[in-house]
Structure formats: structure tokens, C-alpha cells
Amino acid sequence: KNEVEQSPQNLTAQEGEFITINCSYSVGISALHWLQQHPGGGIVSLFMLSSGKKKHGRLIATINIQEKHSSLHITASHPRDSAVYICAVRYSGGGADGLTFGKGTHLIIQP
Amino acid sequence: NAGVTQTPKFRVLKTGQSMTLLCAQDMNHEYMYWYRQDPGMGLRLIHYSVGEGTTAKGEVPDGYNVSRLKKQNFLLGLESAAPSQTSVYFCASSYSWAGFPEYEQYFGPGTRLTVT
């Protein structure tokens, strides 16, 4: 089974720090998603990308197709960024059922 | 818009009981999904639907059935609940174009199910 690996599993940082969460996958993909799961359990889609880089506010997502790797960056981190961040990929040739999810990175930002 | 809603939010079942989880979306999305989330594991797809009247199996379909009689609703049924089905269940929906499913998924708030 193709895997999606995230690192680190857990990350605690101080407010204001630059945060990087990594995601790697094993074979070719057609798209990669970054999701945020709030402490209350709700899941929100942050980004969907298949190449290059996307930015939304303080969040930046990049993907390197050749290296099969993506990163999610948070600039000027804030306690409200505390959440679980989940990477998911759709492997090339996968249909509507094709998202494979990582186990998530649990981020805590301390004031 | 309410987005994606799930009913109920919490439920406790005894082994062998049955129940139906309801997912509703008001975004006119074609694609709908049921996932389960267990501690230490990523989200796993149970069943999905690419349109009204169609359903298909995902990664972990055993013990579950689904129906999509109306475009806006996707029902997940447990015929005979087992403790292994204790989990948090998420419904999601997404837009599609020309059969291409690659748009962001919108998730419901989840249903926490405990089977004793």
C-alpha cells in the first residue's frame, strides 16, 4: 500500500516561530492536499496543489514533484495555529476514491 | 450555506445494534465520501459516491452500507455494530468537473460513535 509519511509527528513551538511540516510520498501523484483539524475535531481544507507553491495569509505550501515531497510552512505562528495538520495525496491513476492520508502532525504553539 | 452537516454528533450503540448516519450538503457537489478516523491512523475511506444513485467501496467497506438516493444526502449504515467500528466518522463532499475529482473536499463536523 502506498504510504504518506509526515514529520514531525508532534511539534511544540513558541509564538512567532517559523514552522515547517513535511510530507513525503512514494509514487507519482496527481494532487496533494493539506488539511487542518481543529482541537474540536473539525477538518478544513487549506491547500490543494499539484506543482509549485501556494500562499494563503501566513500559510505557505510547496511541493517538489521530483523529490516526492511537500512542505507546509507557517510564518509568525500564533497559538490559534495549534491543530493537527494532515497531508493527503491522490496517486496518479487514482479515481474519486484515491486520497491517501498521512497520520497528521500535532502542532502546539505556546504563547 | 450550512456546508456539510452530519447527524447525529454522538451515538453509543450496543454490539449488534444498527444505525444510520446522515450526511447532507447544500453545495450541489457531485462527489461525497465517508471516512473513519481512528487514533494513530490517518483518515480511511469507507465508501464514496460520484453522483446520485451511485456508490462505490473504499479502503475499509466491510460492515457498512451506503445509499445516495438524493444528490444532497449520503447515508452510512451499520447493519450489526461491532466494537471495532468505534470511531469518529467524517463525511466530505467535493465539486467535480468532467469527472475530474480534484477539488478541495469540504468536511462535516464528524460523528463520534462508540460501540460497547
Predicted local distance difference test score (pLDDT) of residue A40? 80
Q: What is the pLDDT of residue A23?
A: 98
Chain B: nearest CA to A57, how far in angstroms? Answer: 18
Output A41 or B18, whichever has higher pLDDT: B18
In angstroms, the separation between the Cα of residue A43 and the nearest Cα of chain B is 6
Q: Report whether B108 contacts B6 (CB < 8 A).
A: yes
> Residue B26: pLDDT above 80?
yes
Residue A25 pLDDT > 90, yes or no?
Answer: yes
Closest residue on chain A to B30 (Cα): A96
Q: Which residues of B touch A45 (CB under 8 A)?
A: 104-107
CA geometry: angle A98, A104, A106, nearest 5 deg: 165
Q: How far apart are CA A29 and CA A65, in angstroms?
A: 8
Amino acid at A37: Q
The torsion angles phi and psi of B74, rounded to 5 degrees, stand at: -140, 115
By a Cβ cutoff of 8 Å, what residues of chain B touch chain A?
Answer: 31, 40-45, 48, 50, 56, 58-59, 88, 90, 92, 96, 101-107, 109-110
% of chain B surpassing 70 pLDDT: 94
Query: How many Å apart are CA A35 and CA A45, to the nearest integer?
Result: 4
pLDDT number for residue A96:
60
Does the beta-carbon distance from B105 to A33 stay under 8 Å?
yes
Q: Which of residues 49-108 of A touch B (CB under 8 A)?
A: 50, 86, 88, 90, 95-104
Sign of CA dihedral A67, A70, A74, A80: negative
Residue B5: CB atoms within 10 Å: 14
Cell numbers describing residue A6 = 509526515
Q: Do A33 and B104 touch (CB under 8 A)?
A: yes
Closest CA to A81 of A56, A47, A55, A106: A106
Tell me the mean pLDDT in the region B41-67.
Answer: 93
